Amino acid sequence: MPIELKIPSVGESITEVQIGEWLKAEGDLVKQDEPLAVIDSEKTTFELPAPQSGRLTKILHGTGETVKVGTVVAQFEREDGAGPPPPGGAGESRAESGQPKSEAPASELKSEAPAPEPAVEPKGGTPQKVETKAAKEPPPAEEIPGERGRERANAEVAPAAAPAGSLPGREEEVVPMTMLRRTAADRLVEAKQTMAMLTTFNEADMSAVQALRNEYQEPFEKRYQVKLGLMSFFIRAVADALKQFPQLNAEVRGHDIIYRNYFDIGVAVATERGLVVPVLRDAGRLTFAELEKAISDFARRGREGKLKPQELAGGTFTITNGGVFGSLLSTPIINPPQTGILGLHAIQDRPVAVLGQVVVRPMMYLALTYDHRIVDGREAVLFLRRIKQVVEAPARMVLEV
């Protein structure tokens, strides 16, 4: 009996998913837990594993199809019951799973050529072809008298205009949006339409953080088996600032404002299939080592498509770091229903005035986008200034001053 492969439940709010890609074709032998397909949901991407060693016998839903949770998408046979591959081999199965079929052999092409027209023998005994309706050709242009004939001749000589997409160097490719990207797009549009977003800027001198990292990187990595990065400093600084300015950790719900006494901070992670924002629960209570381990784990599993939906839900504030890609300045968009997002940018050596002297320091622009419906400009500016103060003097994180 074949085993039915069903779409598993991936969260209470997720009722349907999209088949992103079949990694195996019909007839392929696979090992237990080997990924068979990549599945996209509105929150995350995950892999559909083989339940045990055996053969993928039939694919019921192809790449790009949207199916409900619990739908049977393929059939599978155990290794001891695996029969021969389906007729046509892997090439035929790949065609059924959304991949192009190979061309038919020449012998098949010849058999599809039109049969010769039948001949009949009239009373005179000379065989003649029977002219069928489909075989009739319009008369040549020179046989059409007058102006109509000249127009017809000109039309036959003039080459037809080629579509723009078929010209060399002007090809087009249509690729369906993944469910993850569609959901992200809808939420970004929702944020622009429903929030009064405003962005304020500041800059931070990263000298003190860089000095700490240089001094303690080796013993930190040796003790905790993870590098000391920049993000943990900013997460601690954000948690500190949220305590003083709870409006940035709140949510608008109808005509009410929901204030929270916990800090679940989301960290944006770029993946090949789109941006995901896993959440660090109670981030203000985590040590630097715990933060760095969690961030590293999120980044790795995000690239592998192994983040769980519950790890992406319920954040109260978000940090995004475009600086890792070289961004100098940007205006990040809030992740609703949150009321704030902090954008980090590239560190650049720039001349700044320190105690009346022009010196070169490693500087980073900071951008805070906030929901002006419940966050006033004063709170937003002071919140960002507090982050600047904590990052420029990291001892404040320990002393809480």
Catalytically active residues, by annotation: 372, 376
- Tell me how long the chain is: 401
Place of tokens 């060399």: 168
Phi and psi torsions of 350, nearest 5°: -135, 150
| DSSP strand pairing (317-321 vs 265-267) | parallel
Cα torsion angle, 312, 372, 400, 386, sign: positive
Q: Using alpha carbons only, how large is the chain's radius of gyration in Å?
A: 32
Instruction: Tell me which long-range contacts 96-99 makes (C-beta under 8 A, separation of at least 24).
Output: 96/26, 96/59, 96/62, 97/22, 97/25, 97/26, 97/59, 97/62, 97/63, 98/22, 98/62, 98/63, 98/64, 99/25
* Helices (H), ranges, 268-313: 288-304
Distance separating alpha carbons of residues 375 and 241, to the nearest angstrom: 14
Contact status, residue 220 vs residue 228, Cβ threshold 8 Å: yes
Contact status, residue 374 vs residue 250, Cβ threshold 8 Å: yes
Angle formed at CA 348 by CA 224 and CA 298, multiple of 5 degrees? 35
For residue 34, the number of C-alpha atoms closer than 13 Å in the C-beta half-sphere is 14
Contact status, residue 269 vs residue 277, Cβ threshold 8 Å: yes
Distance separating alpha carbons of residues 264 and 276, to the nearest angstrom: 15
Query: Which among 249, 228, 227, 229 is positioned nearest to 238, based on CA atoms?
Result: 249
Contact status, residue 339 vs residue 374, Cβ threshold 8 Å: yes
Q: What is the dihedral of CA 236, 240, 245, 249, to 10 degrees?
A: 40
Distance separating alpha carbons of residues 172 and 109, to the nearest angstrom: 30
Q: 235 is written with which tokens?
A: 């997460």
Contact status, residue 280 vs residue 265, Cβ threshold 8 Å: yes
Burial class (CB in 10 A: 0-12, 13-18, 19+), 383: buried
The 66-68 sheet, strands edge to edge: 45-49, 35-40, 16-22, 66-68
